[in-house]
Amino acid sequence: MSISDMWRTNVATLVLMIFVNLGLFSLQNQTAWMVLGLLLLAGSLYLAFRQGMGFGHEACGLLQTVKKAQDPASPTHGQIDEKVAKRAWSVGNGIRAVLSFALPAYVIGCAYIICTLAGFDALALPLRLISWVLAAPYWPCVLPWTQTFDRLTPAVVAVLMISPFVLPLATFAGYMQGPRLWAKSEKAMAEGKRRAKAKSRVVRKKRTPRSQRPEI
């Protein structure tokens, strides 16, 4: 899978998390928001990890295609599309996917902190609203320590600086499982072929007619 595929998947997950958390926040019940919000966050991170595993496995398949095309002895040597090669598995692709998703929210959070400290209220207010919404899925994590988010407490700053990376890093962790999953699937396919061949030999042996001996 390409970087844009992982980016779109993370965006869709984040948007869903934001809407659900805004709904929970509107209930004005902090305990319910904290419990349900943490459950939603845990489930979303697990889903992101599983999706990352799928991306990594598919990207490893493309990587094998690229390697064959780069082998001079291969019939497909030099017959690889550049777009396919860019989608092949690599650590660099995973890191770029993380940064492409996390940096916009991180920059907005940094801008809000800087404007607040510098006293630029005209800019700080809209930036606070945007950064608060983007970090909405992670506020339940700090509810036991703070219930207000209009001041730059250590908990608020921590959420603003860390939250942009949490979801894409979960996807990245799954993506990094790609080589292991590919090797496992290739091993399973090889074992399946061996079992099929062994079974076919047994069937052919059973079907071989016995030679009839002349009666005496």
Does the residue 204 lie in any domain? no
**Averaged pLDDT score across all residues of the chain:** 87
212 pLDDT above the threshold of 50: yes
Residue 15's pLDDT is what? 97
Which residues, in sequence order, are CB contacts of 44 under 8 Å at separation 6+?
A: 13, 16, 17, 137, 167
Q: Compute how many other C-beta atoms are within 10 angstroms of the C-beta atom of residue 85.
A: 14
Domain-embedded: residue 202: no
For residue 109, the model assigns a pLDDT of 96
In a domain, 201, yes or no: no
Contacts for 62 with CB less than 8 Å, ≥ 6 apart: 84, 85, 87, 88, 89
CB-CB neighbours of 174 under 10 Å: 25
Output the pLDDT for position 51: 95
**Considering only 11-20, 60-69, 103-112, 141-150, which range has the smallest mean pLDDT?**
60-69
The predicted structure's pLDDT at residue 188 = 82
Which tokens in the block code for residue 102? 């996390």
Residue 102 belongs to a domain: yes
Tens digits of residue pLDDT in 161-186? 999 999 999 999 999 999 999 899 88
For residue 109, tell me if it sits in a domain. Answer: yes
Write down the pTM of the prediction.
Answer: 0.84
pLDDT band at 199 (very low <50, low <70, confident <90, very high): low
Number of domains in the chain: 1
Q: pLDDT digit string (tens) for 101-124?
A: 999 999 999 999 999 999 999 999
pLDDT for 216 equals 43
Q: Domain range spanning residue 94?
A: 3-192
Q: What percent of the chain has pLDDT over 90?
A: 63
Contacts 24+ apart (CB under 8 A), 149-156: 152/113, 152/116, 152/117
Q: What is the pLDDT of residue 118?
A: 94
pLDDT tens digits for range 67-96: 777 666 656 556 666 777 788 889 999 999
Contact assessment for residue 143 and residue 28, using Cβ atoms and an 8 Å cutoff: no
185-197 tens-digit pLDDT: 888 877 766 666 6
Instruction: Find the mean pLDDT for residues 146-162.
Output: 90
